[in-house]
Structure formats: C-alpha cells, structure tokens
Amino acid sequence: MTRSTQNHRAWWKESSVYQIWPASFKDSNNDGVGDIPGIISQLDYIKNLGVDIVWLCPSYKSPQVDMGYDIADYYSIADEYGTVADVEELIQGCHARGMKLLMDLVVNHTSDQHEWFKQSRSSKDNEYRNWYIWKPAKYDEQGNRHPPNNWVSHFQGSAWEWDELTGEYYLHLYATEQPDLNWEHPPVRKAVHDIMRFWLDKGANGFRMDVINFISKDQRFLDAPIKDPRTPWQWGDKWYANGPRLHEYLQDLGKILKEYDTFSVGEMPFVKDTNEVLKAVQYDRNELNMIFNFEHVDIDHGVYDKFEPGSFKLTDLKGFFERWQKFMYDNDGWNALYWENHDQPRSIDRFANAKEEHRLVASKMLATVLALQSGSPFVYQGQELGMRNVPPEWGMEEYKDIDCLNHWNRMLKDRASETEAHAIARQEYQKKSRDNGRTPVQWTSEPNGGFTGPDVKPWMSVNPDYARGINAEAEVKDPNSTYHYWAAVLGLRKKYLDIFVYGDYELVDRDSQKVFAYTRTYENQKALVLANWTEDALEWDPAVHGVDGAREVLLDSYDKADAAKERFSGAKWTLQPYEAVVLLL
Ligand code: NOJ
C-alpha cells in the first residue's frame, strides 16, 4: 500500500476553518475594539457559512505591542476582549452549533510583561533566568559592545536587546517586547504543556501554533551566513528555523493533542524543504495535522524586502500549489489551504487585482480555486464578504501594525530626503501591509459598518466601502453574494467528500498564464475545477487538455448549474471574466 493521504480518513481533514482576529471582528460594548461577546453574537452567521471550526487569534492578556502575539498571561483574557468565562461561553456556543474552537498557542516567545520575563530579567540568579535566552555581549578590539551574533529580528534591527540591569543580551526574533522562550529548559516545556491542557480541559478543540518551527534553536548561536547584505531577515533562519530538537518537542505536544482528539495547525515560515515538513505532518508521526507554508503568499514580495515592488506570475502560483498538493498527497501528509489571514493583504486585491466591476466574480473565483484543492480550507474574517485592502488614499496615520510602522520609521530615518523611495513604500504598504487584513469587519451599511456604535471611533478605521454593499447584512440577504458562494463551495466540498477531500490532484493546462485548472479524482469519480484568472472572456478547448466533455455542472460562479450546462457541452468552452466552474467529468 502506498502512503497516500487516502489511506487515512479523519474529521480534521474534512473540516474547514473560519479565522477570527478579535480586535476587528465585532464590538459589543462600544469601546471601539472587537470582543468575545461580539463573536458569540455572530456564531450563526459563521455556522451558516458551512465551516466546522472557529480559530480564535490570541485574546489573552497582552500589552498589544504585536496585537496579542505578545502574551502577558496565558490564563487570562485581555480586558478589552472579555473574560475566561466569555471564552467558555464561546466554546459552548460553537459546540452547540456542531462547531469546534481552536485557540492560538504563541509559545516561541512571550511579552516582556509576562511575569516569567519580569523575573528572568531581574537577576542572573533568579529561578526564571533560564526561561529565556540570555547571552553575554561580544566586544571588539576597540572595546565596543556587540550582540552575541548577527541574527536580525523579523520586525527590523538586531534580534538581541541589551539589558542594562544584568548586563546581558536577550533574544527576540520579533519585537523587542517579545523575548524568545528557552525551550531547552524543561520547566518551559512543562509550562507550555500545562497551558495546552488548561484550554483543552475547558473544551477547546486544538491549536493554531505560532511560528512553531522556531522553538528549537541551534545552541551554538553562531553568526548566520550572510546570504545577501540586502536580505538581513533571512540570515538567521538556518540556525533557528527547524532546529535540532524541533521534532522531539513536537512529539511531546503531539501526545497531548492526541489524547484530546484535537485539530492542530502549525505556522512554519522558511520551509521549502518538503521532507522537513513531512516529519511534522505525516499522519502516523503524531506531531501536527498540518502547517501553514508561505511560498504562495511571498510570491509578490520584492527580492530584498517584502515592501519592495514584486511581480506575480500565475504559473509560479500554480507551481507552488502543485508541489505541495502532490507531495502531501503522495506521502500521507496534509495541507492547510489559505489565501488570507491577519498577516496578509486581501486576496481579491493581491491575486486578482480586479476592477470594481469584477470584484464579485473574482472573489468567487478565488474561493473556488482554493477550497477544492486537497487540504483543509481556511477562511479569514471578511474574506467571505470579498473585503478589500485599505483605500489607497488613506494616510500613514491609519496604519497601526508594528511591522509596517517599523519599516516606515526606518525609512524616515535612513532616507530622509528620498521622497521617491517613500512614495514607493507607501504604495507597497497599501498592497502588502498587514493592516490591509486588519480593518474591522463590515457588518451593515450604517456608520462604522456596524462594527461598533455609530459615534464611536474604532481602534482602526473601517474601510468605507461597507456603504457600497460590501457588508454582511447586504450579502446575507443577496443569494448571489460572495458569502453565499463561499457557503456553496464549502457545501460542495462536503457533498463530494471522496473527490474533494480524499481525491488525487492533477494540474491541467500547466503553462497557461490565464487559466487555473485542476482535476480531483477518487477511484472512478473525477471533477474538473476550471477558472479564468483574467478580466477578459476566453475560450478553452477541453480536448486539448485531455478533457472529453462534462457530465454535470456542479457549481458555476456566473450561472445556476442547470443554466451553465449548455456552455460546457460543446467542443469549445467560453469562460467569462474571472469565471470559475466545477464540472463532474
Ligand atoms: C506570526 C503571527 O501570525 C504574527 O501576527 C506575529 O506577528 C508573529 N507570528 C509573531 O508572533
């Protein structure tokens, strides 16, 4: 028997996930910030989309330097979001509707306001000193102090911060206020296991694990090879991503996850080596169910910097997907499928770059192409409405994200006079900044899009296009909306489970820069997903691609299946701008 993914059926493979980023979901108490009761009030809206799992991004106590990815207490909820009792009610609300709830596990680092770190930095003898990664300075011949190595933080600057009190540096792969935990120290691992059990015992059904492949660092803490002086953020990954003890640690977590029959997805930047990934996700290794890889979302980054202009080729995108699809399928692994999350811009602007007149069809096309591949689909809040990036005319004062603001401040410092560079950066922020995915969800056509009270100033401005029909109230009423289309796609995936969950994947029309097409095959059942990635109508000849006619239209983004049937019965098929169709062959 081969190690194909077909060999193991599992509820988590059949599930789809809806991601909630609490600050911007729904504000129930008019303080301008989303909260847990706001989420509870919309559980039917989420359920009606046809998802099985809700992933709640960090809502723990936090100074919010990195919007909750800097946790000050894993056992309590931030005041602005609610209480532990509210999360319990949320869990029950999900369960009552047949959905599960995932918590976000952020344990590569904590906040510098966590009690463990406060203790750790207080003295070299403190019992928590070893909970974090402290190293002495290096001094050059002139006696100048330098960090222990050349690793660079993902949010700009050295990854080491000098701490005057005890005269050592601590490691922070993200913000200065996010010190990295020392997983070599057994009490740290025990503390993480306790946190997991605490939330699982409350009924949570698993975890999304933040940068989980960074938890084991090479203990030599060597200088990283400088691949290119213009790409400093890449230098250190060799020594801290997928480190020597990663799988030992994941096996330990896996035992707990298995005990509770959970869903788990690990975020893993810097993995291109699929063999390495396989160790984490292969079915019988009992580590994680799936991971988020970054290849397809890094596609439009500049060569040296995410915020430099990049380009996008459909053949590259198809190539990334094909590689992961086949590799996982043939080796009994599993994919997490996503276009968007709280770290990414809106897919409609990034991948389709559609004019307003095509917004609806382009967002339907993206839903179809993504969710019917092999893997568990993730829908990020607002994606089901076709929400867009921030308006181009917004000024810098509207941007709130530490990653973007650090970049901007560095530009102002380094290049005070280069206004052209500034203008380019500004344009790129509107395309790639994390802020694009973080504007509040648009619920109604009322002021503030119904996210918060009409007279309240929300923590981040609402995209004004809520007034032009991009809002939940309008879309729930309109059977032709993106919201209902997403529900139809997820419903189709469930109805034809054998094909779309367990079927084999073959890319079709590989070299086309205009069409994204693939088949899914399970025993003698076969479906074709065919999408026009352009704003013009185009003709597609099925015979040229080995397709000899369609038995049935399962779903079409322009017409009802019956009405579309005729268009896909002749020798040449015409696809409308951004049209997607799913055919049973
Ligand atoms: C990945 C998270 O998704 C991102 O939002 C965060 O800034 C970093 N990890 C650091 O926790």
Distance 339 CA to ligand 1 centre (A): 16
What average pLDDT does the segment 116-120 reach? 98
Picking from 23-27, 269-273, 349-353, 510-514, which range would have the lowest pLDDT averaged per residue?
A: 269-273
- Identify which of 210, 268, 435 to mutate to test ligand 1's pocket (most ligand atoms within 8 A of the CB): 210
Distance 68 CA to ligand 1 centre (A): 9
Which protein residue has the closest C-alpha to ligand 1 atom 8? Answer: 69
The set of residues, in sequence order, having a beta carbon less than 8 Å from that of 84 and lying 6+ positions away, is: 75, 76, 77, 202
Model confidence band, residue 156 (pLDDT cutoffs 50, 70, 90): confident
pLDDT higher than threshold 90 for residue 48? yes
Which protein residue has the closest C-alpha to ligand 1 atom 3? Answer: 343
Q: Which residues pair with 207 in a beta bridge?
A: 103, 264
Dihedrals phi, psi of 455, to nearest 5 degrees: -100, 5
Q: Which atom of ligand 1 is nearest to the CA of 434?
A: 5
pLDDT higher than threshold 90 for residue 288? yes
Model confidence band, residue 326 (pLDDT cutoffs 50, 70, 90): very high
**Pairing verdict, β 525-532 and 580-584:** antiparallel
Q: Which two tokens stand for residue 292?
A: 């988020």
89-94 contacts at long range (C-beta below 8 A, 24 or more positions apart)? 89/36, 89/40, 90/36, 90/39, 90/40, 90/43, 90/54, 90/56, 91/202, 91/203, 91/204, 92/203, 93/40, 93/43, 94/43, 94/54
Q: What is the pLDDT of residues 24-39, one digit of tens each?
A: 999 999 999 999 999 9
Residue 258, Cβ neighbours under 10 Å: how many? 12
Residue 578 Cβ inside 6 Å of ligand 1? The answer reads no
Residue 343 Cβ inside 6 Å of ligand 1? The answer reads yes
pLDDT of residue 3: 64
pLDDT higher than threshold 70 for residue 1? no
Tell if the pTM clears 0.75, that is, is over it.
yes
Distance 468 CA to ligand 1 centre (A): 32
Residue 72 Cβ inside 6 Å of ligand 1? The answer reads no
Q: Which of 547, 546, 553 is nearest to 567 (CA)?
A: 553
Residue 475 Cβ inside 6 Å of ligand 1? The answer reads no
CB 492 within 8 A of CB 554: yes
How do the residues of the chain divide into helix, strand and coil, expressed in percent and rounded to 5? 35, 15, 45
DSSP state letters, 127-159: TTGGGB-EE--EE-TT--EE-SS--B-TTSSBS
Top pLDDT among 304 and 462 is at 462
CB 208 within 8 A of CB 267: yes
What average pLDDT does the segment 96-125 reach? 98
What beta strand segments (E) does 296-340 contain?
A: 336-337
Residue 181 Cβ inside 6 Å of ligand 1? The answer reads no
Q: What is the pLDDT of residues 455-473, one digit of tens each?
A: 999 999 999 999 999 999 9
Picking from 154-163, 242-251, 561-570, which range would have the lowest pLDDT averaged per residue?
A: 561-570
Q: Which two tokens stand for residue 551?
A: 């038995």
Model confidence band, residue 233 (pLDDT cutoffs 50, 70, 90): low
**Percent of the chain residues topping a pLDDT of 90:** 88
What average pLDDT does the segment 507-535 reach? 97
d(CA 20, CA 40): 11
CB 430 within 8 A of CB 436: yes
pLDDT of residue 2: 59
Which protein residue has the closest C-alpha to ligand 1 atom 6? Answer: 69
pLDDT of residue 561: 87
What average pLDDT does the segment 435-439 reach? 98
Distance 343 CA to ligand 1 centre (A): 7
Q: Which two tokens stand for residue 545?
A: 């691609």
Judged on CB neighbours under 10 Å (0-12, 13-18, 19+), 308 is middle
Looking at every residue in the chain, the average pLDDT score rounds to 95
Task: Report how far Cα 384 is from the mean position of its chain's Cα atoms.
Answer: 15
Distance 180 CA to ligand 1 centre (A): 13
pLDDT higher than threshold 80 for residue 7? no
Residue written as token pair 């190595």: 149
Spell out the domains of the chain, with CATH numbers in brackets. Answer: 14-109+187-484 (3.20.20.80), 115-171 (3.90.400.10), 504-584 (2.60.40.1180)
pLDDT of residue 414: 84
Residue 292 Cβ inside 6 Å of ligand 1? The answer reads no
d(CA 520, CA 293): 22
